[in-house]
Homo-oligomer: A and B are copies of this chain.
Amino acid sequence: MHDLKAPSPEALAQLEKIVGPRGALRAPADAAPYLHERRDLYHGRTPMVLRPSRVEEVSAILKLAHEERIGIVPQGGNTGLVGGQIPSEKGNEIVLSLDRMKAIRHIDAMGNSLIAEAGATLKSVQDAATEAGRLFPLSLGSEGSCQIGGNIATNAGGIHVVRYGAMRELVLGLEAVFPGGHIWHGLKSLRKDNTGYDLKNLLIGSEGTLGIVTAATLRLFPRPAEVATVLAGLPNLRAAADFFSLVSESAGPLLTAFELIPRLLLEFVLAHAPQSRDPLAGVHPWYVLFELSSPLAEGLAERVSVPLLEGAFNRGLIADAAAAASEAQAREFWRMREAMAEVQRYEGGSIKHDVSVPVSAVPSFIEEASAAVTALVPGARPIPFGHFGDGNIHFNVSQPKGMEKAAFLSRWEEVADAVHAIVLRFGGSISAEHGIGRMKTEMLKAAKTQLELGFMLQIKRVFDPRGILNPGKLLSEFVPEN
């Protein structure tokens, strides 16, 4: 439905001319890193990877691609988890990598903003903010390699959303290029601007299907003077919800992270991550890793957390807790949390779900979904973990011990359908923070109403009538105009 022409040799030569020889990769070995993602779920082929260095080059590329009907797949740090950044296997799409556009163009510390190009890594933006005495709060496991453009295209989330919001809430302005080559100079740095329809929020989260973001004005915050990081062991899952209420009420805006961890996932870490050790003396079925950040360096975080933990202990919401005694220990807690995405692979096949439900429904959702998947695949090991404070659970399921990996993974669709049905019954989302990409296009059709899908398809037509941007992703049923 969304097939576009393979680019002609003349078109390829023109594209190469736009970016110069350093900006165009044709040799298979050079292009290879852009053609598969790290979990090896998606592979693509391409006649050429383009690496423009200026917005004007992106404009010239999208002008030609629109005229010639050439599919363009924008790519950031290639860390996406739903295949959105990988071109089709047919080999007729051009990959457009922003990795050479990585400048921090401007920092306004007093105005709490910074302008970064799309190819800047999240880590480099965090570092630039730190150097200016400010905080850029977005924080993800892949922050060393993921790029700001990809963070915007997917409305990235991570561990600090509970306090600072997802990428959507951190973008003040955008520079972007649309099919036909039109450049949007929208790098405003305003907190308030009520002048018509919100094009910025339409682009954020559109997964490169409406336009290509080349730079963004990002919001900065004062740096906290003090951070308390606490790991608590919980007697049961229901306690997590009451514990979250208690912490968020006691700490208000000081609460900057609240992550849920099941014991089994901690055991995966202990088994597979080098130099890891059980962080609490006893064994608890559930853990919460939370963080309080204070503007004052006067022991506030501790003054909040100590009575809070006492109260939780007395109410039976937690059974044990350890506050990080040093920055090094806090980093160790977070390294353990980050390792959790990685260690699951050592336990065989894993069927993954990135879902959200209302925060108050998280325990019920986890109970029902766990029962459903173990009924479908006896012995399957549910590993629900992640951003409890946002209602965003990575409901992953590791294979039964001893089962064939392929046999387990062949049940993916069946398992996912069961989990997503429960998510939707709770008023939840089938993609909380990873997006739709190529993986979830069919699920999207099932989860959205005809009204919503119809509006989306018409909006796609407004921005990209010929369907050249990220063909087949997000809205796989889009039919280009003649």
User: Which residues of A come within 8 Å of B, CB atoms?
Assistant: 108, 110-113, 154-155, 157, 161-163, 165-166, 168-169, 178, 182, 184-186, 188-199, 201-202, 204-206, 210, 221-222, 224, 241, 245, 248-254, 293-296, 298, 300, 303-304, 356-361, 387, 390-392, 427-436, 440, 444, 447-449, 451-452, 455-456, 458-460, 462-463, 474-475
Tell me if A190 and B248 are in contact (CB < 8 A).
no
Could you tell me the distance between the alpha carbons of A448 and B188 in the complex, rounded to whole angstroms? 12
A191-B391, A295-B252, A358-B108 are contacts. A444–B224 as well, Cβ < 8 Å? no
Write out the residue numbers on chain B whose beta carbons fall within 8 Å of the beta carbon of A199: 452, 455-456
Tell me if A391 and B455 are in contact (CB < 8 A).
no
Tell me if B252 and A194 are in contact (CB < 8 A).
no
A205-B197, A391-B191, A429-B194 are contacts. A295–B254 as well, Cβ < 8 Å? yes
Least CB separation from A250: chain B residue: B295
Q: Which of A196, A198, A296, A434 has the most CB of B within 10 A?
A: A196
Tell me if B452 and A192 are in contact (CB < 8 A).
no
Give the distance to chain B from A453, nearest Cβ to Cβ, in Å.
8
Write out the residue numbers on chain B whose beta carbons fall within 8 Å of the beta carbon of A251: 295
Sample of 9 more A-B contacts, CB < 8 Å, known A111-B391, A190-B432: A113-B358, A182-B451, A191-B390, A193-B429, A193-B432, A222-B248, A252-B295, A295-B304, A455-B463
Tell me if B196 and A475 are in contact (CB < 8 A).
yes
Residue from B195, B390, B427 within 8 A of A188 (CB atoms): B427
Least CB separation from A196: chain B residue: B456
Give the distance to chain B from A146, nearest Cβ to Cβ, in Å.
15
Smallest CB-CB A-B distances: 10 pairs: A252-B295, A253-B253, A201-B201, A111-B360, A193-B429, A192-B432, A191-B390, A458-B462, A110-B360, A111-B358
Could you tell me the distance between the alpha carbons of A458 and B460 in the complex, rounded to whole angstroms? 11
Tell me if B427 and A189 are in contact (CB < 8 A).
yes
Give the distance to chain B from A197, nearest Cβ to Cβ, in Å.
5
Could you tell me the distance between the alpha carbons of A254 and B452 in the complex, rounded to whole angstroms? 39
Write out the residue numbers on chain B whose beta carbons fall within 8 Å of the beta carbon of A462: 455, 458-459, 462
Q: Which of A162, A201, A356, A449 has the most CB of B within 10 A?
A: A201
Write out the residue numbers on chain B whose beta carbons fall within 8 Å of the beta carbon of A168: 198, 201
Tell me if A190 and B300 are in contact (CB < 8 A).
no
Give the distance to chain B from A430, nearest Cβ to Cβ, in Å.
6
Write out the residue numbers on chain B whose beta carbons fall within 8 Å of the beta carbon of A204: 198
Could you tell me the distance between the alpha carbons of A479 and B469 in the complex, rounded to whole angstroms? 28
Could you tell me the distance between the alpha carbons of A69 and B248 in the complex, rounded to whole angstroms? 50
A252-B224, A252-B294 are contacts. A430–B205 as well, Cβ < 8 Å? no
Tell me if A452 and B190 are in contact (CB < 8 A).
no
Give the distance to chain B from A108, nearest Cβ to Cβ, in Å.
6
Tell me if B198 and A205 are in contact (CB < 8 A).
yes
A252-B221, A294-B252, A360-B108 are contacts. A391–B435 as well, Cβ < 8 Å? no
Could you tell me the distance between the alpha carbons of A434 and B196 in the complex, rounded to whole angstroms? 11
Write out the residue numbers on chain B whose beta carbons fall within 8 Å of the beta carbon of A300: 300
Tell me if B189 and A358 are in contact (CB < 8 A).
yes
Could you tell me the distance between the alpha carbons of A222 and B389 in the complex, rounded to whole angstroms? 13
Write out the residue numbers on chain B whose beta carbons fall within 8 Å of the beta carbon of A474: 196
Give the distance to chain B from A446, nearest Cβ to Cβ, in Å.
11
Could you tell me the distance between the alpha carbons of A339 and B169 in the complex, rounded to whole angstroms? 32
A-B contact pairs, 12 of them (CB 8 A): A110-B245, A110-B359, A111-B359, A157-B194, A184-B452, A190-B356, A192-B433, A194-B205, A195-B429, A195-B440, A198-B205, A455-B463
Could you tell me the distance between the alpha carbons of A122 and B166 in the complex, rounded to whole angstroms? 26
Least CB separation from A180: chain B residue: B451
Could you tell me the distance between the alpha carbons of A390 and B432 in the complex, rounded to whole angstroms? 29
Tell me if A391 and B447 are in contact (CB < 8 A).
no
Least CB separation from A82: chain B residue: B194
